[in-house]
Each structure stands twice: as structure tokens, then as C-alpha cells.
């Protein structure tokens, strides 16, 4: 096992290059306090005051000034396409109504694979394709910390 390093700050989409990388799925990239394994065997302790979402190619700056690059790992997704922009908006509404995590990219929506949602979307006229790629879903309206939950006191 390698060394445990300590992150002191997060730099979204930085220009520095990392001496190592961490490949994380979407739900692993929301951190406050956590040990993150690196590709070459070391680990990084993240212990931030508030939760942070680590973006693709974001950088964790370590105590010694080096950087670790964050890589979004590939996930099993559905690529959803509508007949036109209005239809795609309607599909987005149905996905949101089911509280499913979604990444909206102009002419498509990405969601985690779920056969019930797939069948619903196909029934609504969507084109649904199985893909595997990094997933960066939108943060929901309630994703931020209000500071009034019992665990935050």
C-alpha cells in the first residue's frame, strides 16, 4: 500500500498537471471527508469543511503543492434522444418527475440504466441507446447544504 496524502483545496478544471489521477464514478465525486485511491497506489485524504463535487479534470491540490487530477469513470447509461427540441424537453420533464439523475447535453439526455425508465421513455417516443461513458448529472435544486439538518450541527 502506498502513502496517504492530504488534499488542502480543490481547483475546478485547473491548468496544472497532476502527478497522479483518481478515477471516480459520479456518486463518488461528491465529497467532504473521504479517502480516495489513486491510480498508482497512493491515497488522498479529502477533509473539506463543506461538500464539493469533483468535476472531470478538476484538481485536488495537496499539502506539498502537487496536484491530483480527477477523471470521471465510465458508467452504464442510456442516451436519450427526442424527435425535436420540444419533445426532448418533455422527456426531460418526465425524467425529472421520477427524480432520476440526468445529464442534459443539448440534443440528448443521459441517465443511469433503469429498465422501467427506458420502457417509459420508449413509450413516449424517445430513442434510447445503451452507452458507456463518464456521467456528470446536474445537481438538483436541493443539492446544496442548508446547514439545518441534525447531522450538520
Give pLDDT tens digits for 95-105: 999 999 999 99
Span 26-41, average pLDDT: 96
**Who wins on pLDDT, 59 or 147?**
59
Q: How confident is the model at residue 140 (pLDDT cuts 50, 70, 90)?
A: low
Burial per residue of 44-67, b for 16 or more beta-carbon CB atoms within 10 angstroms, e otherwise? bebeeeeebbbebebbbbbeeeeb
pLDDT reported for residue 74: 98
* Burial label, 33 (beta-carbon count in 10 A; 0-12, 13-18, 19+): exposed
Mean pLDDT of the chain: 91
Name the grid cell of 76: 452504464
Q: Which helix (H) or strand (E) holds 61?
A: strand 59-62
Using the structure block, give the residue that is written with the C-alpha cell 503543492: 65
pLDDT reported for residue 18: 86
SS3 85: helix
* Burial label, 34 (beta-carbon count in 10 A; 0-12, 13-18, 19+): middle
Distance set, CA 32 to CA 1, 26, 111 (Å): 23, 14, 24
**Who wins on pLDDT, 17 or 62?**
62
The bridge status of strand 102-105 relative to strand 108-112 is antiparallel
Give domain limits for the chain: 4-72, 74-134
pLDDT over 50 at 63, yes or no: yes
Instruction: Kindly report the length of the chain.
Output: 153
Q: Which of 107, 143, 147, 153 is nearest to 29 (CA)?
A: 143
Tell me the CATH architecture of domain 74-134: 2-Layer Sandwich (3.30)
Question: 4-72 domain in CATH 3.40.630.30?
Answer: no
Amino acid at each position: 500500500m502506498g502513502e496517504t496524502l492530504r488534499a488542502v483545496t480543490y481547483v475546478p478544471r485547473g491548468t496544472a498537471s497532476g502527478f497522479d489521477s483518481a478515477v471516480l464514478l459520479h456518486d463518488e465525486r461528491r465529497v467532504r471527508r473521504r479517502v480516495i485511491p489513486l491510480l498508482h497506489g497512493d491515497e488522498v485524504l479529502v477533509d473539506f469543511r463543506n461538500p464539493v463535487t469533483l468535476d472531470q479534470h478538476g484538481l485536488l491540490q495537496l499539502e506539498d503543492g502537487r496536484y491530483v487530477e480527477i477523471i470521471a469513470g465510465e458508467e452504464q447509461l442510456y442516451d436519450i434522444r427526442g424527435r425535436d427540441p420540444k419533445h426532448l424537453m418533455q422527456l426531460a420533464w418526465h425524467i425529472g418527475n421520477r427524480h432520476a439523475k440526468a445529464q442534459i447535453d443539448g440534443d440528448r439526455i443521459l441517465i443511469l440504466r433503469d429498465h422501467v425508465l427506458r420502457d417509459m421513455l420508449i413509450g413516449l417516443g424517445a430513442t434510447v441507446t445503451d452507452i458507456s461513458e463518464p456521467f456528470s448529472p446536474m445537481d438538483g435544486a436541493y443539492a446544496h447544504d442548508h446547514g439545518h439538518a441534525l447531522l450538520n450541527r
